[in-house]
Structure formats: structure tokens, C-alpha cells
Amino acid sequence: MLNWISLTEIDELIRIKEKSFQKPQVLFKHSTRCGTSSLVLNRLERAKEIPEADFYFVDLIRYRNVSNKIADLFNVYHESPQVLLIKNGKCYYEESHLGIDMHELNDQIALLN
């Protein structure tokens, strides 16, 4: 089962970046108004194999400023839904919409270890 960590403050992004030097950090940007985003969230939460990483959940409707800062800080184009894999302070993998898949996240994390 995924243990989401709610990401609500821009300042938390600095800690996430720092933590990524010890352990992969996964950011999931979710739109509560989007059916595709809800579908992807459900698929992630039903996954049987969850990689060793911290999983952060960003409600981009309520925390648009955090979502925008993620795009700036990690040099990615904003999408929704979107998942980013952060390791050693950088975004090594980014995917959006129906391309988001826990098996692929597992594979990407394995490549980083």
C-alpha cells in the first residue's frame, strides 16, 4: 500500500531534493477535477509491487504554486497528472497521463540503484 506524503509547501521541495541523495523521491501531481488523473491515482494505489521510495502527493488545484515550482525546480514541462522521479537532486524520469505506470517506476528506480 502506498503511504502518500502530502506536499503542500514550496519549502518542502528543498527537503525532498536533499532526501533524494539517500533515497528516490516520487512526486505525483494530481488534479481532483480530472478523470484521467483519478484513474492513474487508482492504478498507482492498486499496485502490488511498490518501489523503495518516498511518495509525495500534490493536489495541484489547491497547491498550484507548489506544482508550478516543481516544474521550475526540476526543469520539466507541467502536465496533469504527472509523476517525477527525483534522485541526487535531479529529475531522472518524468511521465504524464496514462503513461504513468508503477511497473515503469520500479524499472526506473532499479536503473538508478
Per-residue pLDDT of the chain (113 residues; tens, 9 = 90+): 799 999 999 999 999 999 999 999 999 999 999 999 999 999 999 999 898 999 999 999 999 999 999 999 999 999 999 999 999 999 999 999 999 999 999 999 999 87
Q: Which residues contact 97 (CB under 8 A, 6 or more apart)?
A: 36, 40, 79, 81
- Helix, strand, or coil here: 21? coil
Single pTM value for the model: 0.96
Q: Which residues contact 42 (CB under 8 A, 6 or more apart)?
A: none
Q: Quote the DSSP letter at residue 63.
A: T
Sheet harboring 90-96: ordered strands across? Answer: 4-6, 54-59, 25-30, 82-87, 90-96
For the domain with range 4-112, which CATH number is right: 3.40.50.2000, 3.40.30.10, 3.40.640.10, 3.40.710.10? 3.40.30.10
Domain definitions of the chain by residue range: 4-112
